[in-house]
Amino acid sequence: MAISAAPVRPSAHAWAMDAPPDPEVRERPTRRRFPAAYKAAILDELDRATEPGAKGAILRREGLYSSHVTEWRRLRALGGLEALGRPRGPRPAHPLVAENERLRATVGRLEARLTRAEKVIAVQGNVSALLRELSLESAEPKDER
């Protein structure tokens, strides 16, 4: 059985394999990031590929997974090139949401402080009434028997 080497074709996109990869394993892996123009070019190339096995060859050549292509197609359908260029992850919250949360926390603290102050005032009123009652008792003439 003879093993034939696939013809070495220069990459259609110089970005993917400019230099041989560094054999050193990094302490912490880094996520690959693909520019929007690169994603669009790959999707166009995949859309034009009609021969059997051509799409798989493109993916192998570029070091991509089919999940990349699936996600890129979904993004392209949602918003074209702009959607392909958006960063991953959750969208930042609207600034008013953060301001609203901050104000709600402040209101909560102030309401708790008001409740404590009302309790202190009630206790002071009770103490004042008790002292008044004691002073009135001591001011009353005592029966001498």
| pLDDT tens figures, 57-103 | 999 998 888 898 898 888 888 877 776 777 777 777 888 988 999 99
Question: In angstroms, rounded to a whole number, what is the distance separating the alpha carbons of residues 124 and 31?
Answer: 64
Q: How many residues does the chain have?
A: 145
Q: Note the pLDDT tens digit of each residue in 18-49.
A: 677 677 777 787 888 888 888 889 999 998 98
Cα separation, 144 vs 126, in Å, equals 32
* pTM greater than the 0.75 cutoff: no
Which run of H or E residues covers position 126?
Answer: helix 95-139
